[in-house]
Chain A
Amino acid sequence: MATTITMPQLGETVTEGTVERWLKQPGEPVEKYEPFVEVSTDKVNSEVPAPVSGTMRDILVQEGTTVATGTPIAVIEDGAVGSAPPPSATQPSGKSVSEPPKDSAAMAQSANAEPVPGFNLPQLDVKPAAQSAPVRGNGEAAAAALRGVSPAVRRLAREHHIDIRSLRGTGANGRVTADDVLNAARMGPSAAVGQAIAAPAGAETKSTYGKPVPGTYVQLNSARRIIAQRMVESKHTAPHAWSMVEVDLTNLWKWRTREKDRFESEHGQKLTLLPFFIRAVVEALNAFPLMNARFSADGGGRTPGPAIFVEEDVNIGIAIGLPTNLVVPVIKHADKLSIKGLALAAGELIDKARNNKLSADDLQGGTFTVNNNGANGSYASAPIINGGQAGIVTMEAVVKKPVVTADDSIAIRHMMNCCLSLDHRVVDGYVASGFLAELKRRLEAMGPSGVL
């Protein structure tokens, strides 16, 4: 059996050594502890004693050569020269103990690696966010759901108006991480509502929202609870201001009247004023980008304090009131759609909404909201801003009215009010009324010569 001898470490901080002189040549016998080579470092010169008895077999490093500690320098063929076989390597073993293991295999461990002694992360007792049954609103359950929630998650959830309980966590043990919250925020705060709506409804009770019985408590399902929470949050966070303009839709009305039958036969759905309105809104938003923005408490970490995030995309949410619910599906990139495209997109979303087929994605990402209130005959309304946006605009009922025209005569015109609730932290009267004025201008400029 052969023993390979490596360059020993001859000093606390030494990393290499030089072979000065071989005291034994191949073929010569050598006894354990007998010096067989002279080695030097910049600190010290030393004779190295043999670790085993036997015969010198190979010299691997020539005299005068410098090698790193731990490099093989010689091989001794074990052969008890009158002594028992030596036990396993005694010192100096020459094994380099100074080098950290560079072997990446040593560092790369599977997920089941031994925990580092003294370094154990807590096994969080976090139940994954319930997907099948919405968490019932009682104090204990709420507390349980918030266990293991980090300060960053709490803060971000609060800032972005996200209900942590409605999120699925991607962290260890299903923990909701800060990134989870930020991703949800990016997709739109109504995503939480969407998740909750997608869940099957809870147990029916006798007195329901659809059929309320006087003198009873109507239990709120998850969706209604979230709506309630959102409305309060919105009103308590954004200082709402309100403004209104009156728009002359006579020409637009003519245009729509001309197009609606053909549209219906081609596309199987009605052509309402909504897509025209959205088109005008989009154009007004382009002219007043601050209306397509939201207040940011920490500027996303890029500004020293609060900031206004000006959205890149124009995603218009359309508020749809259903018998027991309010949903706001979003037309993504509304600025890239023609009036026809808007009509089709809106129609599809309204259809889905009525059939309870809206997906979470349909409900996320809105940057501005439109509410067609007029269908109910409303003349003016003060809507609550949706999900941290800068504003929400309504179309009220179209009413034929006598108005005074430019040349001081009286004419019968189709008039419609547009109402705007705005977040006064983001914009004030100058921008808001500018936006409304632009909206009015665009709507009044629409007429039969236009293209859908």
Chain B
Amino acid sequence: MAVATSSSQVLNNVEAVRETLYEAMRNDDRTIIIGEDVGNRGNVFLITKDFIKEFGAERVIDTPIAEASIVGIAVGMAMEGLRPIAEIQFADFIYPSYNQIVGEAAKTRYRSNGEYTCPLVIRTPYGGGVRGALSHSVCIEALFYHVPGLKIVAPSFPADVKGLLNAAIDDPDPVLFLEHKKTYRLIKGEVPNGHYTIPIGKADVKKPGTQLTVVSYGLYVHWALDAARQLEDEGMSVEVIDLRSIRPMDRTTILESVRKTRKLLIIHEDNKFGGVGAEISAMVNEEALFDLDAPVRRLCAPDVPAMGYALPLEEAYMSSPAEMAQAMRDLVRF
């Protein structure tokens, strides 16, 4: 139960993003927010509500419906010394910007030998469980985490959201900042006041344990924790790691945990084949094969194109805490 103190407040994830963006706009004139409906509407989740009144339309830009250039123009701003924060309204709309994100932003420093850099943040809400169906539910991290030159973070708790968003804004290179839309108002937590950053590339053990390591990110961290606490009541000790950063990925924390528990379960909302779990599994096999007492398992969405709008289809696609608990149970008992 999150409790406010004199040095912290209880915020949900929307509020954590809003507060962080607000401070960034206040503290650095070079910060520009650019995206669809971010100005007068204040973002479709009200994240930038009233920003335009305080910072003006030249710093909170309502763009035409043109995702490729939302990112492309932001790249140009970044190359010319501004600190833009571009927003793609839903991750499902990001595909037209793929060229600019992967082909341009991620390669600017490398191709110019460091002469030009691209300090750009691209924020977008992702993930399902909100009856969003084909075009408002997708997870996109697997499409991007493959690309060297692009950082990707996906925090789940409000305190992590603030710290990592600050780190992304401060970062001299492009960062894709993923916000799970279902956690926007669902998840509340204590958030320290004042400016702080959490290093990109560091995972966090949200619950220590000894018999099984569970790695997850996004909404599923919360459900995995629920399942792990259920297993605690049944006498099983499960360690839950919140990945927080998809790329760079915190191999050290994962390996340390796996060497201790000898069993690994990766739970993510994205499809299984080629998802983030595949890379973690391969990495653990390479680095810690002789510490494994069971195969590395992945609990993920089935490999179908999308979660459906009808509730049974959404539920069949997503993994419930009960399914997570059973998967954990099976592996602990293996």
Contacts and interface: CB of A to CB of B under 8 A. Distances in A.
Direct contact of A and B (CB under 8 A): yes
A150 B186 CA distance: 41
A12 interface: yes
A235 B214 CA distance: 42
B297 A98 contact: no
Nearest to A97: B311
Given A13-B130, A42-B46, A121-B331, A153 B322 contact: no
Nearest to A121: B330
Nearest to B49: A42
A100 B321 contact: yes
B293 interface: yes
Interface in B120-169: 129-132, 136
B233 interface: yes
B320 interface: yes
Interface residues on B, range: 35 or more
A98 to B, nearest CB: 7
Interface in A111-143: 113-119, 121-122
Contact of B327 (A119, A122, A301): A119
B295 A122 contact: yes
A117 B185 contact: no
B297 to A, nearest CB: 7
Interface string B220-259: 0011001100100110000000000000000000000001
A12 B233 contact: no
B302 interface: yes
Interface in B278-334: 289-295, 297, 299-300, 302, 311, 314, 319-323, 325-327, 329-331, 333-334
A296 B293 CA distance: 20
Contact of B294 (A98, A102, A150): A150
A120 to B, nearest CB: 8
Given A151-B289, A152-B291, A177-B293, A106 B322 contact: yes
Contacts of B130: 12-13, 98
B260 A150 contact: no
Nearest to A15: B185
Interface in A90-110: 97-98, 100-102, 104, 106-109
A151 B291 contact: yes
B299 A116 contact: yes
Contact of A151 (B292, B300, B333): B292
Nearest to B302: A118
B268 to A, nearest CB: 13
A107 B223 CA distance: 11
A122 B334 CA distance: 9
B293 A13 contact: no
B293 A301 contact: no
A12 B219 CA distance: 14
Interface string B197-232: 000000000000000000000000011001100100
B272 interface: yes
Contacts of B107: none
A29 B274 CA distance: 57
A122 B330 CA distance: 10
Contacts of A15: 185-186
B304 to A, nearest CB: 11
Given A15-B185, A109-B326, A118-B272, A101 B320 contact: yes
A97 B45 CA distance: 19
A154 B262 CA distance: 13
A178 interface: yes
Interface residues of A, number: 37
A84 interface: no
Interface string A48-82: 00000000000000000000000000000000000
Nearest to A42: B46
Contacts of A236: none
A43 B293 CA distance: 49
A177 B330 CA distance: 14
Contact of B223 (A98, A100, A122, A152): A100
B177 interface: no
A178 B297 CA distance: 18
B316 to A, nearest CB: 8
Nearest to B291: A152
Nearest to A180: B293
B184 interface: yes
A218 B223 CA distance: 62
B333 A100 contact: no
A267 interface: no
A14 interface: yes
B182 interface: yes
Contact of B186 (A13, A108, A154): A13
A153 B327 contact: no
Interface string A139-162: 000000000001111110000000
Nearest to B184: A13
A122 to B, nearest CB: 7
B46 A301 contact: no
Interface in B30-50: 45-46
A155 B262 CA distance: 12
Given A12-B181, A13-B130, 14 more contacts: A13-B14, A13-B181, A15-B186, A97-B311, A100-B222, A102-B321, A107-B321, A109-B322, A116-B330, A118-B300, A119-B299, A121-B297, A122-B295, A175-B334
18 contacts: A12-B132, A13-B45, A13-B130, A43-B45, A100-B321, A101-B320, A101-B321, A104-B230, A106-B321, A108-B230, A109-B322, A109-B325, A115-B330, A119-B327, A121-B330, A152-B290, A152-B291, A154-B290
Interface of B: 14, 45-46, 129-132, 136, 181-182, 184-186, 222-223, 226-227, 230, 233-234, 259-260, 262, 272, 289-295, 297, 299-300, 302, 311, 314, 319-323, 325-327, 329-331, 333-334
